[in-house]
Amino acid sequence: MVENTHRFGSLSLRGEWYAAARAIADGAAIADGAAIADGAAIADGAAIADGAAIADGAAIALRPLTSGEISRLEADGNRALRWSDVLVVVDFLPDFVIGNLFVGPCILGRFQPDTAGRPAEERSDTQLPSGVYHCTLDHAIIESGAALHRCPLLSGYRIAGSASVADSTLVFSGEGSFADGLSVPAGNECGGRSVAIHAGMTLEEARRAAEQPDGAEQPASRVHATIGFVGPYSQISACTRISNTFVGEYTRLVGAQLIDESTLLSTRDEVTEVCSGAIVRSSILQPGVSVTDCAIVDRSLMLEHSHAERHAKVTGSIIGPNSSIAEGEVTSSFVGPFVGFHHQALLIAAFWPEGKGNIGYGANVGSNHTSRLPDQELRPGEGMFFGLGCNIKYPANFHAAPYSIVATGVSTLPQRLSMPFSLLVEPETRPEGIPGGLCLLRPAWVLSDNLYMVWRSRMKYRERDRARRNAIPDVVFSEEVVAMMAAAANALERAMGHRDFYTPNEIPEIGKNFLTESDRAKGVQTYRFFVQFVGLAGLFASVPPNTSRQDRLRYCEAVDYVAALVRASREKDDERGGRIIDDYGRTHVRAEFDPVVQDAAAWAAAEIARAGNV
């Protein structure tokens, strides 16, 4: 027996990639090219020893088939071009290898009548028994406990124990990197913000890379694979073609049309899915990602718990945690966390690392092509809302206008806008002297008239965050945002005069828009109130015992006013809806019962009690 023992030879899998990806999925640290997986270090890209199959740190001995096993396999409908090319583990059983064609070198583990090697508590009625049934195999490694059923071709792949593959074609040819090190033009279709993506990349790391000029040194691919891999407990069924792809443990692939040159990472409780006609090409999907319902993801990085569904198209982009793209198109964009994109719309060449915004139906965001080159770009602000059918002309910089709204049907000119929490609308009438194309700007309108939106956003960030590898703050009034409000108030105050309206000539910070004197004055007042409120909130974070009665009273009044603004902005819907829809009150939750309004009221009551109930 000893002299007939063989090892993996040319079928060995380069170990550094498997270890690195496994470590990422397990949340282990990866530093300086050394991957830590299951307590063992694989440093500097060291490969699994040439010709050795490694499982749990030990080499697995292999042997040729005996003449009796060959006879049994042939009796069960198996055929091979050369049975000498088929190696098996020492305790191989032929009972569960039925109806297969072996057209090249293959290695088979031990198969038993269980459910894909899973522990009893992890099995379900939909899982398949382990073994190899009615498949065509070439240059394949099928580990003990795996399940293969009716695969037209499985070539150049290693299938881990407890994985199941059914009715699917898996092919690895040549050499691949699983999209590791791929350059993604996120933020500018012509480059300039390209990011070399890798499996463990965080949102902040991607942002830093995008903010460097092209040509700055970024990590090259450390992956040079010569065989594909399907990890333990993965389930693959009815997939038309999977090629040159690393499939991590617990991944679920059902009915995918194509998965090519990609990395799919998953964990037991953060299952990554590619299902229902979806296509993934040259991309990396981190744990918890789903690509479903004929969505297409091409040359992109989907960070943890992001989604593409319902015919979405994501090309050359980075999609942040908890963001969802459906039906529309995202091209050459860096999309941060919590971006909602649920309808047919366009987002192109946008650098939006803060995310937390929304793209409405029919929004054209935007026009990056000058007719000379598609090299223009957009810098949205955190939490921006692009309304139905709006048109955003490039270049545009709204970074200093976080949580602003571009209303339905608005077309904006190329501009730099520095007014947070603002509303951009088409004017009902255009005053004499206002150039065509300028929109009406209402600074701080979201705070004064739509604070419900801000409060609801804050609740969403807190309640819907699934990210484990990226810290996503649920704070709206960050230090940066407060500084932007203060700067906007100063800019509006400097322009105070005896005018009915103002243009960019008087206030450059308003971009290519105009505003009325009443909106200017209201904006200053609102910005000043919220800057002071945030300062008081910081002061009362721990309620110092020596806080004056006057400061306590100011804080309580401010808290009560903020909660009232949240409710008032929601009550406007009740009032308007009741005038238009006869049974509106019966079919809609009234403001006083709205969860967001109630949350704001409960917060206010708690804060007032904590501050001393003066």
Contact 59, 52 (CB under 8 A): yes
Residue indicated by tokens 């790391």: 205
Query: What per-residue confidence (pLDDT) applies to 192?
Result: 85
Structure tokens at 7: 């090892």
Contact 158, 141 (CB under 8 A): yes
- Averaged pLDDT, 477-496: 95
pLDDT in tens, 26-58: 443 333 333 322 323 222 223 322 333 434 434
Query: What per-residue confidence (pLDDT) applies to 216?
Result: 65
Report how far residue 519's alpha carbon sits from residue 503's, in angstroms, rounded to the nearest whole number.
13
Kindly report the average pLDDT of the chain as a whole number.
87
Report how far residue 362's alpha carbon sits from residue 391's, in angstroms, rounded to the nearest whole number.
9
- Averaged pLDDT, 344-366: 96
Which residues are CB-neighbours of 284 under 8 A, at least 6 positions away? 178, 179, 180, 182, 197, 198, 199, 201, 262, 263, 265, 300, 301, 302
Q: Is the pLDDT at 7 greater than 50, yes or no?
A: no
pLDDT in tens, 487-543: 999 999 999 877 899 999 999 999 999 999 999 999 999 999 999 999 988 877 776
In percent, the amount of the chain with pLDDT more than 90 equals 73
Q: At 380, is the pLDDT very low, low, confident or very high (cuts 50, 70, 90)?
A: very high
Contact 550, 522 (CB under 8 A): no
pLDDT in tens, 428-457: 999 988 998 999 999 999 999 999 999 999
Query: What per-residue confidence (pLDDT) applies to 375?
Result: 84
DSSP 375: -
Nearest alpha carbon to residue 416 among 431, 404, 403, 399 = 399
Lowest mean pLDDT among 211-225, 251-265, 372-386: 211-225
Q: Is the pLDDT at 23 greater than 70, yes or no?
A: no
Count CA atoms within 13 Å of residue 542 on its CB side: 3
Q: At 572, is the pLDDT very low, low, confident or very high (cuts 50, 70, 90)?
A: very high
Report how far residue 546's alpha carbon sits from residue 217's, in angstroms, rounded to the nearest whole number.
53
Report how far residue 533's alpha carbon sits from residue 554's, in angstroms, rounded to the nearest whole number.
9
- Averaged pLDDT, 12-37: 36
Residue indicated by tokens 């992001």: 306
Residue indicated by tokens 């009740």: 574
Lowest mean pLDDT among 197-201, 365-369, 473-477: 365-369
Query: What per-residue confidence (pLDDT) applies to 125?
Result: 46
Query: What per-residue confidence (pLDDT) applies to 539?
Result: 76
Query: What per-residue confidence (pLDDT) applies to 611?
Result: 83
Report how far residue 71's alpha carbon sits from residue 5's, in angstroms, rounded to the nearest whole number.
21
Contact 276, 294 (CB under 8 A): yes
Residue indicated by tokens 């007014």: 419
Residue indicated by tokens 């230090």: 479
- Give the E-state strand segments of 356-488 in sequence order: 358-359, 364-367, 378-379, 385-386, 391-393, 396-397, 405-406, 411-412, 415-416, 423-425, 439-442
- Averaged pLDDT, 215-228: 78
391 has which bridge partners? Answer: 364, 411
pLDDT in tens, 574-599: 999 999 999 999 999 999 999 999 99
pLDDT in tens, 391-417: 999 999 999 999 999 999 999 999 999
- Averaged pLDDT, 130-155: 96
| Max CA distance (Å), the chain | 102
Nearest alpha carbon to residue 227 among 247, 251, 250, 253 = 247
- Averaged pLDDT, 8-22: 38
DSSP 4: G
DSSP 281: E
How far are the Cα atoms of 271, 363, 414, 417, 586 from residue 393, in angstroms, in the given order?
39, 12, 5, 13, 42
Count CA atoms within 13 Å of residue 22 on its CB side: 21
Report how far residue 198's alpha carbon sits from residue 488's, in angstroms, rounded to the nearest whole number.
39
Report how far residue 116's alpha carbon sits from residue 118's, in angstroms, rounded to the nearest whole number.
6
- The DSSP result for 439-474, as a single string, is EEEETTHHHHH-HHHHHHHHHHHHHH---SSS----
Can you give the length of the chain in residues? Answer: 614
136 has which bridge partners? Answer: 101
Asked if omega into 577 is within 30° of 0 (cis), the reply is no
In percent, the amount of the chain with pLDDT more than 70 equals 86
Rg (the chain; Cα; Å)? 30
Q: At 484, is the pLDDT very low, low, confident or very high (cuts 50, 70, 90)?
A: very high
Query: What per-residue confidence (pLDDT) applies to 497?
Result: 76
How far are the Cα atoms of 117, 134, 459 from residue 265, in angstroms, in the given order?
21, 28, 29
Query: What per-residue confidence (pLDDT) applies to 330?
Result: 97
**Domain spans in the chain, listed from the N-terminal domain onward:** 2-177+224-264, 540-610
pLDDT in tens, 181-195: 999 999 888 888 999
Nearest alpha carbon to residue 203 among 69, 318, 100 = 318
Q: Is the pLDDT at 217 greater than 90, yes or no?
A: no
Nearest alpha carbon to residue 70 among 83, 61, 88 = 83
pLDDT in tens, 76-117: 999 999 999 999 999 999 999 999 999 999 999 999 876 544
Nearest alpha carbon to residue 445 among 572, 539, 343 = 572
